[in-house]
Structure 1
Amino acid sequence: MPLRLEIKRKFAQRSERVKSVDLHPTLYSGTLCIWDYQTQTMVKSFEVSELPVRSAKFVSRKQWVVAGADDMFIRVYNYNTMDKIKVFEAHTDYIRCVAVHPTLPYVLSSSDDMLIKLWDWDKGWMCTQIFEGHSHYVMQVTFNPKDTNTFASASLDRTTKIWSLGSPDPNFTLDGHQKGVNCVDYFTGGDRPYLITGSDDSTAKVWDYQTKSCVQTLEGHTHNISAVCFHPELPIIITGSEDGTVRIWHSTTYRLENTLNYGLERVWAVGYMKGSRRMVIGYDEGTIMIKMGREVPVASMDASGKIIWAKHNEIQTVNIKTVGANFEVRWGKIALSCEGIRQL
């Protein structure tokens, strides 16, 4: 059965080329903008560089935004006060990506100089490690959410490498694409040790990083794949391409579920936030935010007191006659309790 996935456009904003999104856009013109997607208004704007900004990430625990640009500098701003926290030259060529460690004071950066660098903001943004091994531009780096001591890197040398913090050499290399690899993302749900890569060969590949084997190849895009992700809440994979489309695939069956085309030219970035159904897409000509799926779970209770509800692609049950009076199952903004179903 195909997924009954409701998709609603929640935000649309035309602009210059959007090369990076972290639920808010970073503009290709060298300006970084922060948007309130509920009011669809710009909250703040930073003139980051005279050259393109290719990547920016929020560090919510510090109220920072970190941006890397083609002038080889990393810049850190307080996104509330707009104060500039730090500016430093990080690489000798364009900075393609920055990634923030989920708990430690670390930022990874990757560059056209073929290097990956680890920066520690508790040590005055000192470079504490350099990772060498790729033979072409390093397009993206991302931490493994299930093992934050490791990360993956995607390169135009056609490979994806897995690294460990503290070790100078890659743990192993995934090699299977026919052209350069632009993007990589880890599977966050369940226990599957998977990651996905997108390539200039117009395919995306799902990998098992324990067996180091390709599990599935996703075909259908007609141009370079520039963005990939496993959705953290829904059983879907999202791929974005320079063919102007975003394709949505079932993450278990790998069946194509939907193709989105908003007419904003090439897709460059896809962003999401754990705990949210919203996704943001960066294009040549602007930004689109969409909301996928239902916020309210489908649930029912029969005469015997058995409650059945659907969470994503899982069916869960509880019998209120066999649990205590104070038993409650929470999911998002919904509570399933002995009183039935109520809004929190």
Structure 2
Amino acid sequence: MGSCEVYPQTIQHSPNGRFVVVCGDGEYIIYTAMALRNKSYGSAQEFVWAHDSSQYAIREGNSVVKIFKNFKEKKTFKPGFGADCIFGGFLLGVRSNSGLAFYGWETSDLIRRVEILPKHIFWSDSGELVCIATEESFFVLRFLMERVTTAQESREMLTEDGIEDAFEVLGEVQEVVKTGLWVGDCFIYTSSVNRLNYYVGGEIITIAHLDRTMYLLGYIPKDDRLYLGDKELNIISYSLLLSVLEYETAVMRKDFNTADRVLPTIPLEQRTRPLSVMLFKNNCLISVLLNYLTRLSILLQFSGEQIV
């Protein structure tokens, strides 16, 4: 297909898959993903995409961040606490030696500053949930966009650290995340002790114990398969039913109508653990499984009929 003009330190596809950026040697080059045609280039120590692919940001040195839209520079600013590292997603994250600051892509206004030194930041597709992974643990937060909009309009809840109610902390887990991704409200990750887990509603469920270091490549919902690779370019996959993830998400949200609708699509052998363990820990077992037990009883009596 072609060759790269710089020695790459990072390679990132845009969220829509149309472009790929190579960053290294103090430069970045954006190529079209299919033909590897040069689309844009410039100087940068670091490059990150926004969630919509039309915007991206670069870091120059330890003090200057530039935001681009449609490949044209839109905003240059100097974060008040410095810029040692930047993170993409629904908000622009800037890490300094004193913590992490989130900025809006459109205005570069400070949304919230927290005293966390992240190594990775993972946003869900909806932009409602975010995982902030540090060297010792990871935090799961809910981004409250409505409160942010209200505070920005009223200007009454703004502080030097941004908007205090911009995020709601949902949980902290004492595990080190190596690679991760979101599927709905479920955060799937590989840990430093070579476990493949997922987090949903405050509970950790183990999918597999890995015999070597593996890296998450992606999840294909139509195949119900999770794909991982290693440094020797070996690829393995694990079965992970989307219906199970949807059911667990509905239960944790206490959306029992959706849970009842999804339950019949889950094979019987998948309806025990980890579903029962998660529900029991969250005091939802009786109310949620009552319908399941009724359906199971009918199945045992009339095994030839389909449950709907």
Query: Any residues of structure 2 matched to 1:102-141 within 5 Å, and which?
Result: 107-111=91-95, 113=97, 115-122=99-106, 124-132=107-115, 134=116, 137-141=117-121
Higher helix share: 2
* Paired position in structure 1 for 2:152: none
* Paired position in structure 1 for 2:38: 42
Distance 1:144 1:59, change over 3 A: closer
- Counterpart CA distance in 2 for 1:19 and 1:113 is 25
* Paired position in structure 2 for 1:97: 87
- Please give the secondary structure, in 1, of the residue aligned with 2:88: strand
- Counterpart CA distance in 2 for 1:37 and 1:121 is 24
How far off is 1:240 after superposition?
4.8
Count of aligned pairs between the two proteins: 217
1:87 alignment partner, one of 73, 76, 84 = 76
* Paired position in structure 2 for 1:174: 173
* Paired position in structure 2 for 1:235: 224
- Counterpart CA distance in 2 for 1:70 and 1:249 is 40
Distance 1:184 1:171, change over 3 A: same
Query: Any residues of structure 2 matched to 1:160-171 within 5 Å, and which?
Result: 160-165=139-144, 166-167=165-166, 170-171=169-170
- Counterpart CA distance in 2 for 1:141 and 1:207 is 15
1:194 alignment partner, one of 181, 186, 190 = 186
Query: Any residues of structure 2 matched to 1:48-59 within 5 Å, and which?
Result: 48=44, 52-53=45-46, 55-58=47-50
Q: Root-mean-square deviation (CA), in Å?
A: 3.5
Please say if residues 142 and 168 of structure 2, whose CA atoms lie closer than 8 Å, have aligned partners that are also in contact: yes
Percent identity among equivalent residues? 7
Larger Rg computed on CA atoms: 2
* Paired position in structure 2 for 1:18: 10
* Paired position in structure 1 for 2:289: none
How far off is 1:249 after superposition?
1.9
- Please give the secondary structure, in 2, of the residue aligned with 1:156: coil
2:132 alignment partner, one of 153, 156, 163 = 153
Matched AA of 1:108: L
How far off is 1:71 after superposition?
2.6
- Please give the secondary structure, in 2, of the residue aligned with 1:86: strand
- Counterpart CA distance in 2 for 1:227 and 1:75 is 30
Matched AA of 1:235: D
Please say if residues 75 and 87 of structure 1, whose CA atoms lie closer than 8 Å, have aligned partners that are also in contact: yes
Could you report, residue by residue, the CA deviation over 1:267-300 in whole angstroms, capped at 9, with x for unpaired residues?
xxxxxxxxxxxxxxxxxxxxxxxxxxxxxxxxxx
Matched AA of 2:169: P
How far off is 1:34 after superposition?
1.6
How far off is 1:92 after superposition?
3.1
Please say if residues 195 and 206 of structure 2, whose CA atoms lie closer than 8 Å, have aligned partners that are also in contact: no
- Counterpart CA distance in 2 for 1:70 and 1:184 is 28
- Please give the secondary structure, in 2, of the residue aligned with 1:138: coil
Distance 1:245 1:115, change over 3 A: farther
1:27 alignment partner, one of 23, 28, 48 = 23
TM-score w.r.t. length of structure 1: 0.52
Please say if residues 43 and 60 of structure 2, whose CA atoms lie closer than 8 Å, have aligned partners that are also in contact: no
The reply to whether residue 143 of structure 1 matches residue 143 of structure 2 is: no
Q: Larger relative contact order (C-alpha < 8 A, sep ≥ 6)?
A: 1
How far off is 1:153 after superposition?
1.3
- Please give the secondary structure, in 2, of the residue aligned with 1:171: strand
- Counterpart CA distance in 2 for 1:196 and 1:13 is 33
TM-score w.r.t. length of structure 2: 0.57
Higher strand share: 1
Matched AA of 2:171: F
